[in-house]
Structure 1
Amino acid sequence: MRRRAPPVCRAARIGLWWLLFFLCAGFSVDAASIDVKNRTLYSQNTAYCSVPGPVLISALDLKYDGNQQEFSFSLEVSSLESKANLDVSLTLYIYGENFVGMDLDLCTIMGGALCPIPSYNFTGSGTVAVPPSFASKVPTIAFNVPDIEALAVLNLTEQDTKQQMGCAQLSLSNSRTVQLPEITWSTGALAIAATATAAAATAWTDSLSALQWRVVDIVATMQSVAWVSMLTNIAPRVVHAFSLCLAWAVGLVAIEPVQTSILKTREATGSTDVDLMFAGLMEAQYSRLANYYPSEMLNMDKSAKLGTLDGLPQFDHVLSPRTLYAPNTGAGGEMDPGSPRANVVWALPMEPFSQAGAFFYLEAIPLSPYSAFLTVAVSWLLVLAVLLACGLLLVPVCVWWYGAPCPAAMRHGFDAWLRPMLLRALECASPPITTFALFQFVHSNGWVSHFGAALLCAALAAIWATVGLQQWQQVRRHGPRTLYYKNTSPYRADSAAIHYGSPSHPYRPRYWWFWAVMLLCAFLRACFVAIPQKHDYGLRQSLGLLIVDVLLLGVLIACRPACDKKGNMVMIVLTCFRLAAWILCLVLTTKVNIWGIPRAVLGIVLLAVLALAILYIFFVFVWDVSTALLSPRQRWSKRYADAETEPLCDAPGDTTLQAARDEGASRAETTP
């Protein structure tokens, strides 16, 4: 008579059914909620683009209504001159292309209240009708594509002398974005579900189910989205916004008390890189780079009306991130002059790509780039702490199941469940920890950060070297098949499959070492992402990453190292998705010289590739869950049932337990 599975395993099966239901329900998207008729542009960020002149702009917000063909504005200005009559020149850049130029006499608006400009602090708002010739030049893509790259430049010129009195740049948004909390929560739910099913499958089956290691594939796929955005390209904003939703996958979680503690620690230990730009200033710098850099190629017959940056003084100021995509507007989208506004920031001159890549990505979270490693380290240490806490919570379960404290059962639970889960967590944590450790070594200072990076990297290297050495010794003495449950009873205390075989279980015995190849590829990617920063290194980074995955794809096709056909297919398809992403990153480098609307289209394609990779691994995960629930091969193993005929805990005074164990182990090994 077939022995039934223990209650913990039946509960795991029921939990998997409910998990499958909630995942399918949670990933549904309501596309009908998208408003396709909104033709509005809002100012998202305002900054000086030249040395402030006699006219000081304290705050400026702008809204363009494409349906009504009018500008609404709200401003706060002051002037050092009492008799200055000004003209305003507006230039609109979209994806670097100079689409629109319009001149306006300030004496013709607000009933002449701005003519001459008041010599005191002046706050006002108004609406300006836009000529049809202007409105017709604004492309439809500016209203429909999420996370557009649009920049409006306003030059103030004195009417009589034609002297420049001020210059301001406004980053524009159409209120559409892919940086949605739904994406963050749904991908986070997928990772949590994969972790839960890995824990259940590890306790339920004897390494037959791919659910045990699928969490590694899921997290690695999400991490690749962040690596794409950290390359020193002028990344399409839509890709950048999407990647911010997955910053948690690499451990970049902005917990304010943790960040405050990290910053104070760095300040107290010699870091000289704590004075950083955040939010408005960083947005202004990158918006300028994303529009003026390509404008040199797109607008050869037009000159960007950007004032000189020479002599701009350094000022201390407080910057806070703009959290709304349609700021300073009422419920109906109208301008709200009384709402709090962020001050106009000072856009300091700097090297064009010094704040691109990882710097722009990290500060957009917002996190200090130089605190990134400690943030990632703390996040992954918390993950390991949660796993250890779960292991401790299982101790009462073991006591209840066996009726008394059982050191042997607890030791077996650690070897068979907790150790594999910890190794999988380390496999997920190794790429981000290595990446930001290298970033810390190359681009930051402070002995605490460097010491922590060196210590954690040494610990990771020691752990993986120990696992590899133990496996190599086992393979040399007894053959690679002893690393797998099919040839080693899961209830033997000396089982190599339990102690250190879990990293090899996704692969065939012939390629038991392939987990080391995957870690090596992750290390090479970390080198290409983290080290070349602060300059236009996008071509080198993309090419290096492409070569790594081309070589990996060749090895996967030639060797087919996975334990089954589905495993090989999943590894090959995920590698192909990464190859497509690196090729698109290569095309988006400045050396290829693709700008304007074609570049926006390539950004959408890159976003689709990254999203499809996550969608693909989600469906693979759903298939794995379904297979584990329905396939007879994934159910409670006969070998487990046989082994359970002998108690795991020693009964008081029992002297025959070891012989019974040996007999049960022999039956388990000879079972076909």
Structure 2
Amino acid sequence: MFFSLARLRAAIFSSLLLSTSVAFSREQSLFTSSVTYCEPPETLLIQQFDVAYFAKNQSISFNISAASVQANVNVTANLLLNVYGIRAINITLDLCHILGGALCPLPMYNFTGSDSISLPESLGVQDKIPGIAFKIPDLEGVAQLVLTEVGTGVVKACVQATLSNGWSTHQNAVEWVTGGVALATLLPSIWHSLTPDALLPFRLIDLLLLYQTITSSSFLSLNYPSTYRAFTLNFAWAMGLFSTSPSSSLQSSIDRMRHLTGGKLANSTSASPVGLVNRKLSPYNFLGGHPVVPSPLNRRSIDTFDLSELANVTHTKILSTLASDSATQGGNVQTVTTSSSNVLQAGIPIFVNFLHIATANAFMTIFLCALILIACALGMFALGFAFVYFLGRQSSDRKYRSKSGYPSFVRAWTIRLALVLLSPILVFSFYQWTLKDSWLAILLSVIAFLVLLGALLYPTLLVLRYARHEGREALYNDAKYLASNGALYAQYRVPRFYFFLPLLVVSFLKAIAIAFIKGSGEVQVILMVILEGLTVVSYLVLRPSRTRGSDIFSTFLAIMRLVCTGLMISFVERLNVAPIPRVVIGLVIAVLFSITVLVTYVNLLINSGIERLWTGRSARTSDRSGSTNASIMEKGEHAAADKSSSSEHIGRPNNPTPDSGDQLDPGFLHPFLVSPTETEITSACTSNRTSATMTVGSLLPRRWSLTPLNSPTGSSQAHDPTSYNSHSNHVLARYSDTPPSLRHGQERT
């Protein structure tokens, strides 16, 4: 008798979760991804609830542990399948009129069972589930079972299970690729940064800020479709949010720290956080946030499924025992209602919990990741200093003098590191202040905010003050100053050196909008659109970059941010946009951001100088042949001159100084890595001038001295691909006598 009732209950659970299924991936399948109570349980208690449907053989696999603990309860069962807000299935079964009344009243059993059942074709399950449900990423489907007492209409049990098909826009491979590109760009950027105004370091910062923009676009209090939220999780690492395991020791340590210092907010859950999402949001899409409970007066009995055939299906591994006082009271299944304190609201709470990071742990996670990054940077700086110091001890004075530029190099990369940490620290420090949880976390957030503010505000004030007293051109003419603080302004034209300042202000205002206006997604998205719109206008009007290509690229990034932010207006809850259009818009935004990332990759490739791999060889060949011919002609001319005047000009040098009107031959400087000293040049020229018949040559200006000291003029030429065609051309370009201020002014033309 007990086994017969167990089979009947298994049939009820199987039919109940007919559509509730899981996509065990490339097989067409559906499965339950989370289970929660939508009303406090009274009759039915659930400890485990895993059900999967496989389309290939129309079978259901389940692993269920539940208990009925109340006697003499007659109920009706309502099964609702909500897919993208559409009620695909909504049936009500009077359990007293099926299966011979075996479930009326509901028997008191602790049921534990696992099995795989092939469903009869007469049920027509395959026809009721469209094929797209097995392929669309991040399916938004919910199955709900409500047990209502006959006569009184009191809800005795309400269970909701979200559905998944195994497809998602959140992929670990994407995280590795995006992170790998950033790391692969880091070393070339360090090398290029030896020239202060090289573009590659600035493009690396642009890439990381783009990653952070995509991630923070999910921080607003909007009703994001599940597929877009999953897409943004691919870039969460750029904000210092790394996905952790449910049993992460790091998160457990943060939990203990918070609770020891006054923290009272909930810890992260080991289960899928989707079960705790507000019922008004995706994937639930219940209007008003309340579960759909049928009225006892208006319920309809639809006998769509012929359950009698399930009674003849054989089962294996089915266990059934009498209920006892030791029955688990609800197990790990949580109750989530509109008045529950554990509900995850839109924005940062939902986002971080999908990474198994509690809402109150978000800042401490960012803070610890920032400390690790800073420690790595300090270690690299120390190794670099040791390397430079070793070279200074072992090398000539020329190499030893290069050590004087290393502090400027460290200072520049410190500014770049602060720019990368700006958005994460600002957003989560401000957000931590709104939580009012754990005084230690709040204290650390204040310290982090002040340190970051000092790291960026101090060089900003130095730049503005220097420009005010010395002039804008001095910012670019002073090589040491450019190397130290050029990370802020070197990519901009001289008249627009200040353009970095409004960008910092925009980042600050965005953080304020995300953290302090979290109660209104509508206001947040409007402010974001305004800020992005002003950024686009500033790029179009001011055209701050030194080259036309840089202006086009920066404007493109700003326009794409504006378009994607504008499309997010459709996610405002008050507009009640239907789930399917929201999903389509979310996919469009994801595609636009993906295109922007790819364009940035191409720009990184161009600015890395990789084109020299296939253009450098031919250029070097032509330069070598040209310099060889010039040397031969030069030797012939010198030999003829020496032969004609050997009797009159004893001791005349073989390579005389050229006439003042002649252009210096690149081949003349090409063989020399280090020029003669000033003393040698002066003595040679003086001896030539003593000759009565000497009519050529003049004192060589000091600007031709090939010293290894940095020059601001060389930095601006570093981006010209032609300057790399030959060593001689590079030397001439680097030590050109054109004033640096004029060169920066001419780059726009």
TM-score, scaled relative to structure 2:
0.69
Deviates more, 1:119-128 or 1:42-51: 119-128
1:509 aligns to what?
Answer: 494
Q: Secondary structure at the match of 1:346?
A: coil
CA offsets 1:262-290 (integer angstroms, 9 cap, x no match): 333322322333x3453547422316332
1:305 aligns to what?
Answer: 293
Cα 1:408–1:56, aligned 2, differ >3 Å: closer, same or farther?
Answer: same
Deviation at 1:385, TM superposition (A): 1.9
Does residue 429 of structure 1 match 2:416? no
Contact 1:94–1:149 (CA under 8 A) maintained in structure 2: yes
Deviates more, 1:393-402 or 1:91-100: 393-402
Cα 1:548–1:187, aligned 2, differ >3 Å: closer, same or farther?
Answer: same
1:75 aligns to what?
Answer: 64
Contact 1:90–1:154 (CA under 8 A) maintained in structure 2: yes
Contact 1:44–1:172 (CA under 8 A) maintained in structure 2: yes
Does residue 373 of structure 1 match 2:397? no
Deviates more, 1:597-606 or 1:514-523: 597-606
Note the 1:156-555 alignment, pairs <5 A. Answer: 156-157=147-148, 164-203=155-194, 206-253=195-242, 256-273=248-265, 275-276=266-267, 278-280=269-271, 282-286=273-277, 288-290=279-281, 294-296=285-287, 304-305=292-293, 343-350=332-339, 355-404=345-394, 409-415=402-408, 417-484=409-476, 487-489=477-479, 495-533=480-518, 535=519, 537-555=520-538
CA offsets 1:208-263 (integer angstroms, 9 cap, x no match): 53112111101111111211111111111111112222211011236744434433
1:625 aligns to what?
Answer: 608
CA offsets 1:289-312 (integer angstroms, 9 cap, x no match): 32697443999xxx823899xxxx
Deviation at 1:38, TM superposition (A): 4.0
Question: Equivalent of 1:613, from 569, 576, 596?
Answer: 596
CA offsets 1:20-77 (integer angstroms, 9 cap, x no match): xxxxxxxxxxxxxx99974321000011111212222222122233455554433212
Q: Aligned partners of 1:663, 1:441: CA distance in 2, in Å?
A: 51
Q: Aligned partners of 2:670, 2:43: CA distance in 1, in Å?
A: 83
Cα 1:348–1:596, aligned 2, differ >3 Å: closer, same or farther?
Answer: closer
Structure of greater Rg: 2
Q: Aligned partners of 1:138, 1:90: CA distance in 2, in Å?
A: 15
Contact 2:196–2:486 (CA under 8 A) maintained in structure 1: no
Cα 1:213–1:337, aligned 2, differ >3 Å: closer, same or farther?
Answer: farther
Question: Equivalent of 1:574, from 557, 574, 577?
Answer: 557
Q: Secondary structure at the match of 1:102?
A: strand
Contact 1:91–1:305 (CA under 8 A) maintained in structure 2: no
Deviation at 1:624, TM superposition (A): 1.9
Contact 2:146–2:155 (CA under 8 A) maintained in structure 1: yes
Does residue 101 of structure 1 match 2:84? no
Contact 2:145–2:158 (CA under 8 A) maintained in structure 1: yes
What is the letter of the counterpart of residue 377 of structure 2?
A: L
Cα 1:444–1:363, aligned 2, differ >3 Å: closer, same or farther?
Answer: farther
Q: Secondary structure at the match of 2:469?
A: helix
1:3 aligns to what?
Answer: none
What is the letter of the counterpart of residue 242 of structure 1?
A: F
CA offsets 1:372-421 (integer angstroms, 9 cap, x no match): 22221221232122122112112343244344399854342221x22222
Cα 1:118–1:297, aligned 2, differ >3 Å: closer, same or farther?
Answer: closer
Cα 1:228–1:502, aligned 2, differ >3 Å: closer, same or farther?
Answer: closer
Contact 1:97–1:291 (CA under 8 A) maintained in structure 2: no
Cα 1:170–1:615, aligned 2, differ >3 Å: closer, same or farther?
Answer: same
What is the letter of the counterpart of residue 414 of structure 1?
A: P
2:642 aligns to what?
Answer: none
Q: Secondary structure at the match of 2:575?
A: coil
Deviates more, 1:278-287 or 1:243-252: 278-287
Deviation at 1:454, TM superposition (A): 2.0
2:143 aligns to what?
Answer: 152
1:671 aligns to what?
Answer: 737
CA offsets 1:75-107 (integer angstroms, 9 cap, x no match): 212122456566543211112221212345779
Cα 1:663–1:83, aligned 2, differ >3 Å: closer, same or farther?
Answer: closer
Deviation at 1:355, TM superposition (A): 2.0
Contact 1:40–1:66 (CA under 8 A) maintained in structure 2: yes
Cα 1:67–1:419, aligned 2, differ >3 Å: closer, same or farther?
Answer: same
% identity of equivalent residues: 24
Q: Aligned partners of 1:264, 1:407: CA distance in 2, in Å?
A: 51
Q: Secondary structure at the match of 2:264?
A: coil
What is the letter of the counterpart of residue 221 of structure 2?
A: T
Q: Aligned partners of 1:670, 1:194: CA distance in 2, in Å?
A: 30
Higher relative contact order (CA 8 A, sep 6+): 1
Contact 2:488–2:500 (CA under 8 A) maintained in structure 1: yes
Deviation at 1:430, TM superposition (A): 0.7
CA offsets 1:490-511 (integer angstroms, 9 cap, x no match): xxxxx21122222111211111
Question: Equivalent of 1:62, from 34, 51, 54?
Answer: 51
Question: Equivalent of 1:143, from 120, 134, 145?
Answer: 134
What is the letter of the counterpart of residue 304 of structure 1?
A: V
Cα 1:111–1:191, aligned 2, differ >3 Å: closer, same or farther?
Answer: farther
Gap regions ≥5 residues in structure 2? 1-22, 297-314, 320-329, 621-665, 678-704, 712-731, 739-749
Q: Secondary structure at the match of 1:432?
A: helix
Deviates more, 1:593-602 or 1:343-352: 343-352
Contact 2:42–2:157 (CA under 8 A) maintained in structure 1: yes
2:655 aligns to what?
Answer: none
What is the letter of the counterpart of residue 499 of structure 1?
A: S
2:310 aligns to what?
Answer: none
Cα 1:47–1:563, aligned 2, differ >3 Å: closer, same or farther?
Answer: same
Q: Aligned partners of 2:138, 2:316: CA distance in 1, in Å?
A: 21
Cα 1:153–1:511, aligned 2, differ >3 Å: closer, same or farther?
Answer: same
Contact 1:73–1:335 (CA under 8 A) maintained in structure 2: no
Deviation at 1:603, TM superposition (A): 1.8
Q: Secondary structure at the match of 2:109?
A: coil
Contact 1:370–1:444 (CA under 8 A) maintained in structure 2: no
Q: Secondary structure at the match of 2:66?
A: strand
What is the letter of the counterpart of residue 485 of structure 2?
A: Y
Gap regions ≥5 residues in structure 1? 1-33, 309-333, 490-494, 648-659
Contact 1:240–1:361 (CA under 8 A) maintained in structure 2: yes
Contact 1:149–1:290 (CA under 8 A) maintained in structure 2: no
Q: Aligned partners of 1:641, 1:233: CA distance in 2, in Å?
A: 66
| Number of aligned positions between the proteins | 582
What is the letter of the counterpart of residue 226 of structure 1?
A: T
Cα 1:277–1:469, aligned 2, differ >3 Å: closer, same or farther?
Answer: closer
What is the letter of the counterpart of residue 373 of structure 2?
A: V
Cα 1:289–1:297, aligned 2, differ >3 Å: closer, same or farther?
Answer: closer
TM-score, scaled relative to structure 1:
0.77
CA offsets 1:172-197 (integer angstroms, 9 cap, x no match): 10111122110111111112122222
